[in-house]
Structure 1
């Protein structure tokens, strides 16, 4: 499905309800599988979370998680401790190109039995679940935080817990802290000092309802819309907390530089365009929130300002190589952009080529990050259905804001 987006909107005023964070939901789904007395509210309706839930609730010998990277990492750890069960975990062709070796090696240190079915270091993998008695594990610190969180989430069910030593500079600290905070909410004892994380064993937890905060990554696209819209535009998003566990909540600070004011009110955030930005270049280290890089770059391009973003090394192994994909698609639109393996530089330009078809590379964030440019020029999004991976209602919510969307 290819969609043509355009907009004759001069002023946007509306309320959008965004479902729970995919990151929080997937962590809590795994914890619920380990501790069934937990119940969940406001969970994500994303494909990734549905795939995760289906895998946790099923008894299949082959589990296909398609494009869901979080599910691949979390389920690898989960199935490693399911005694008397053997599971082959596989996914899409792209998933088979995404490395899993660091997590497999860490689990093997704990005593896990995991074999590669096709290519060494990559899915699919055959996991023979068993009791893990080792507790000490060491791994590089600059890897995807999902590898780290996968280990931390199963730790309470290990006989001796986990003592995880991270070697080097740590990536995506907020996501690690999110995992630890969710464990703490269940009265599971943890510590995080320097590069050493400990999670203590706890076989049972008390009955509890865990409410998932709405997804800040999904909010990023509305920040982009408000930044590119007229002064006075306001969008209310629910349900959000001022003290969020999600690293992407840094959007409120970043987009202030781009003319967007964030106000917290009754478990919602109100995004309001206060003024046209006067900055010429946005410089930001996104080491703690790389998933919002695509949105920010497209916003800057739409506003005619430059940007230099660093801390992006994990984007190379996402649904696609997001840095190269951004370079290719923005260049089509007339951008002057360069990328390395960990940073991106956009040179300011005021010219945007209209009605360009944007390839999405099976990446939900490519589709949604480029959509707000319809405020500036008509734009076509190829394979627009890919948004269901994290935000199935995205196109309907865009229509609520007044965007004209037609199938092309």
Structure 2
């Protein structure tokens, strides 16, 4: 499905209910599988969370998680500690190109039995669930935080818990802290001192309702819309001023692009600052790589340049996001350069009209480029890919008076 986006409205006024955080939901789904007396509210309706839930509840011998990278990492750890269970964990063609070796080797240090069905280091993998009694493991500190969170989430059910030593400089700390905070909410004891994370064993937890905060990564597209509009007041529910999600850094980042944020009860209200003149942005996004696409597209729309660093994990996402950004922004007339971990955009006031944006099976490519329709008509290829994290996205754009038609 290809969608043409355009709008003659540059005054955005709306209240939008954003689905629960995919990151929080998938962590809590795994914890609920370990501790069934937990009840979840406001869970994400994303494809990734649906896939995760189905895999945890099913008993198939082959578990296909399609494009869901979080599910691949979390389920690798879950099935490795599920004593007596044997599964083959696989996914889409792109998933078989995304490395899993670092996590597999960490689990093997603990005594897990995992083998590769095809290429060493990549899915599909065969997992024979074991009783795990070892508790000490080393893992590189600069890998995707999902590898580390996968180990932390299963740790309470291990006989002796877990002690993870992170080797090197740590990246994506907010996502590690999110995982630990959710464990702490269940009165599971943890510590994170220096480069050592410890989770203590706990076989049972008290019954509890866990309410998922709405997704900050999904909110990023509305920050972009408000920044690019002439006037805007957009309210989003349900958000907290003090969030577990690293992408809540959006508040401070978009203040530099003319978006003022305040909170009322469970609402986050975004307001465009009149007469604001944004300047060149220099940002280090080690802790928040998922919002890089949104930020660089916003900068293009505002006619300002940016230099973004800390983006090394983007090369192993749903696509090589740095290369995808370079190709698609160049189509729009941008002057952009990328390295293995950074992106530099030159300031320009020219944007090519009616460009067809390829999405590379990547939900964030589709949603990050959509706000440019405030500046020029834009065509999004394979627009249905948004269902991976935000199935209601196109309907929510329509509520902001965007004209969206199939082409």
The TM tier, using the shorter chain, reads over 0.9
* Structure 1 gap ranges (5+): none
Contact 2:258–2:278 (Cα < 8 Å) also in 1: no
Q: Does 1:288 align with 2:287?
A: yes
2:346 equivalent in structure 1: 347
Q: What is the DSSP-based 3-state SS (H/G/I as helix, E as strand, rest coil) of the residue aligned with 1:188? A: coil
Q: Does 1:60 align with 2:63?
A: no
Q: Does 1:328 align with 2:327?
A: yes
Q: What is the DSSP-based 3-state SS (H/G/I as helix, E as strand, rest coil) of the residue aligned with 1:255? A: helix
Q: What is the DSSP-based 3-state SS (H/G/I as helix, E as strand, rest coil) of the residue aligned with 1:271? A: strand
1:319 equivalent in structure 2: 318
Q: What is the DSSP-based 3-state SS (H/G/I as helix, E as strand, rest coil) of the residue aligned with 1:335? A: coil
Distance 2:285 2:118 in 1: 34
* Structure 2 gap ranges (5+): none
1:242 equivalent in structure 2: 241
Contact 1:286–1:310 (Cα < 8 Å) also in 2: yes
2:150 equivalent in structure 1: 150
1:131 equivalent in structure 2: 131
Distance 1:26 1:279 in 2: 36
2:256 equivalent in structure 1: 257
1:396 equivalent in structure 2: 395
**Residue-pair matches, total:** 407
Q: TM-score, normalised by structure 2?
A: 0.99
Contact 2:99–2:123 (Cα < 8 Å) also in 1: yes
Q: Does 1:169 align with 2:169?
A: yes
Q: Does 1:29 align with 2:18?
A: no
How far did 1:356 drift?
Answer: 0.3
Distance 1:145 1:229 in 2: 34
Contact 1:298–1:369 (Cα < 8 Å) also in 2: yes
Contact 1:287–1:310 (Cα < 8 Å) also in 2: yes
Contact 1:257–1:277 (Cα < 8 Å) also in 2: no
Q: What is the DSSP-based 3-state SS (H/G/I as helix, E as strand, rest coil) of the residue aligned with 1:87? A: strand
Q: What is the DSSP-based 3-state SS (H/G/I as helix, E as strand, rest coil) of the residue aligned with 2:236? A: strand
Distance 1:42 1:286 in 2: 28
1:65-144 matches, within 5 Å, as 65-144=65-144
Contact 1:295–1:369 (Cα < 8 Å) also in 2: yes
How far did 1:279 drift?
Answer: 3.4
Q: What is the DSSP-based 3-state SS (H/G/I as helix, E as strand, rest coil) of the residue aligned with 1:348? A: coil
1:206 equivalent in structure 2: 206
Q: What is the DSSP-based 3-state SS (H/G/I as helix, E as strand, rest coil) of the residue aligned with 2:131? A: coil
Q: What is the DSSP-based 3-state SS (H/G/I as helix, E as strand, rest coil) of the residue aligned with 1:12? A: strand
How far did 1:71 drift?
Answer: 0.1
2:193 equivalent in structure 1: 193
Contact 2:10–2:374 (Cα < 8 Å) also in 1: no
Q: What is the DSSP-based 3-state SS (H/G/I as helix, E as strand, rest coil) of the residue aligned with 1:63? A: strand
How far did 1:10 drift?
Answer: 2.6
Q: What is the DSSP-based 3-state SS (H/G/I as helix, E as strand, rest coil) of the residue aligned with 1:248? A: helix
Contact 2:171–2:287 (Cα < 8 Å) also in 1: yes
Contact 1:91–1:124 (Cα < 8 Å) also in 2: yes
Distance 2:110 2:279 in 1: 50
1:16 equivalent in structure 2: 16
Contact 1:116–1:123 (Cα < 8 Å) also in 2: yes
- Compared CA separation, residues 152 and 355, structure 1 to 2 (3 A): same
1:299 equivalent in structure 2: 298
Distance 1:47 1:139 in 2: 29
Q: What is the DSSP-based 3-state SS (H/G/I as helix, E as strand, rest coil) of the residue aligned with 2:344? A: strand
How far did 1:391 drift?
Answer: 0.2
Distance 1:246 1:90 in 2: 28
Distance 1:276 1:337 in 2: 27
After superposition, the C-alpha distances for 1:249-279 in whole angstroms (9 at most, x for unaligned) are: 0000000000000011111100000134423
Q: What is the DSSP-based 3-state SS (H/G/I as helix, E as strand, rest coil) of the residue aligned with 1:39? A: strand
Distance 2:105 2:145 in 1: 15
How far did 1:115 drift?
Answer: 0.2
Distance 1:272 1:265 in 2: 13
Q: What is the DSSP-based 3-state SS (H/G/I as helix, E as strand, rest coil) of the residue aligned with 2:255? A: coil
Distance 2:95 2:202 in 1: 33
Aligned CA RMSD, in angstroms, stands at 0.6
How far did 1:12 drift?
Answer: 1.1
1:278 equivalent in structure 2: 277
Contact 1:62–1:90 (Cα < 8 Å) also in 2: yes
Contact 1:172–1:289 (Cα < 8 Å) also in 2: yes
After superposition, the C-alpha distances for 1:337-381 in whole angstroms (9 at most, x for unaligned) are: 000000100000000000000000000000000000000000000
